[in-house]
Amino acid sequence: MRRNRYVIGSFALAVLLLTACGGDPVPVAPAPADPPEPTGTASAVRQEPTGLVGMWTVTGDGVAADTVLRLGDDGPLVFQGCEMLTGDWRADQSGLFLADVHGASMTDDRGCGPSGRTRTPDWLARASAFRADGDSRLLLDADGAELARLRPGARPRGGPDVYPPWLEPPVVTEETRRRLAPVPPLPAGLVAPDQVALTGRWLPAGGPDGRGPAPGPGGWPEPPYAEFAADGTWRASDGCNGTGGRWVSGPAGAFAATGGVSTLIGCDNVPIGAWLITARQVGLDGEVLVLRDAQGAETGRLRRA
């Protein structure tokens, strides 16, 4: 602001001098405007997924009182009341976040126990992104709205039947860093698909005829496949065993899928479920979907059904 006053004052002085000399005033160019403040969006800010590792007090609309979330190498542990939920979680540098619950147990002997329904709490089931906010972490839905705030320093309650290390804060290990490492960029020739392009049914690709692996001598009870639903769930079959979980995609091909329970029928299967839960990035090679892990190695290929 001082600079502008100085320019205006100099212009007025120049006009007075020129007028006094009987000449016409000389035009003076206006001072350049201050540069605009840089702008950005939360999705453009790089996040550090290892910063999610910890023991968190969870608050937010619809979150049960005294809820504690533990995020570590052994999965998410949700302590609520005298119930402990177990499952699987994913995160990456783009801010993508995903968690699912597929088990429950009692944490102590206070006369209560698991609800009998193993279901992911709504605030966790709807989370598809995270963002750092000081010492806290925010879990966000697909529209960027805050679902829950994670505050550090929580201490869950647990009785003698709870595995003692689960009651202690987790630490970032070499396995954590490997699992949450930045994925190399998509190689030339692969195009990052959006969520709409991924939705639907896919079959394994890359067999001898280019249409997928051939069944073993005993055949398959059902053809192997993967199906991504618009509600963020997926299901698949390896030809003998059904499985499923949750999935989410992000910018530059970012991808994550959590796995749940599966049947254990032995057969010459196509491990599509394993392809998905180890994938951290996807890219389209024409009509073929290429799945890549955190180190950029292919985990499998699918073609549209």
Contacts of 120 (CB under 8 A, 6+ apart): 85, 87, 99, 100, 101
Q: What is the mean pLDDT of residues 199-207?
A: 88
Q: What is the pLDDT of residue 125?
A: 94
Give CA–CA dist 31/54, Å, rounded: 52
Q: Are 253 and 244 in contact (CB under 8 A)?
A: no
User: pLDDT by residue (tens digit) across 260-290?
Assistant: 765 555 566 788 999 999 999 999 999 999 9
Q: What is the mean pLDDT of residues 249-254?
A: 94
Amino acid identity at 172: V
- What value does the mean pLDDT take over residues 84-111? 88
Res. 22: pLDDT tops 70: no
Residue 229's pLDDT is what?
A: 97
Is the pLDDT score of 10 beyond 50? Answer: no
pTM of the full structure? 0.79
Task: Check residues 169 and 265 and name the one with the higher pLDDT.
Answer: 169
**Which residue from 75, 83, 133 is spatially nearest to 99, judged by alpha carbons?**
75
Residues 6+ apart with CB under 8 A from 40: none
Angle at CA 163, nearest 5°, toward 158 and 164? 70
12 φ, ψ to 5°?
-65, -40
Top-confidence residue, 102 or 61: 61
Query: What is residue 230's predicted lDDT score, i.e. its pLDDT?
Result: 95
Does pLDDT of 189 surpass 90? Answer: yes
> Among candidates 82, 89, 224, 95, which has minimal Cα distance to 158?
82
pLDDT band at 19 (very low <50, low <70, confident <90, very high): very low
Residue whose entry in the numeric block shows the structure tokens 């805050």? 146
Q: Give CATH superfamily name and number for 44-179.
A: Pilot protein MxiM (2.40.128.230)
For 99-140, what is each residue's pLDDT tens digit? 999 888 888 766 565 555 678 999 999 999 999 999 999 999
Q: What is the DSSP string of 50-70?
A: GGG-EEEEEESTTPPTT-EEE
User: So what's the pLDDT on residue 202?
Assistant: 97
Residue that is written with structure tokens 């976040």 in the block: 97
Q: 195-304 has which fold?
A: Lipocalin (2.40.128)
Q: Pick the residue with more confidence: 89 or 22?
A: 89
At 252, the pLDDT band (50, 70, 90 cuts) reads very high
Q: Which region among 34-38, 74-78, 235-239 has the lowest average model confidence (pLDDT)?
A: 34-38
Per-residue pLDDT averaged across 199-222, rounded?
68
Residue 215 has a pLDDT of: 60
CA dihedral 149, 154, 158, 161 (to 10 degrees): 90
Per DSSP, 252 falls in state G
Q: What pLDDT, on a 0 to 100 scale, did the predictor assign at position 76?
A: 95
Give the mean pLDDT of 164-184: 94
The predicted structure's pLDDT at residue 158:
84
Residue 214 has pLDDT above 80, yes or no: no
Look at 37-41, 47-51, 224-228, 246-250 and tell me which has the smallest mean pLDDT: 37-41
Where are the CATH 2.40.128.270 domain residues in the chain? 195-304
Q: Within the chain, which residue ranges are assigned CATH 2.40.128.230?
A: 44-179
Query: What is the rounded average pLDDT of the residues 85-96?
Result: 95
Secondary structure of 124-160 as H, E, C letters: HHCCCEEEEECCEEEEECCCCCEEEEEEECCCCCCCC
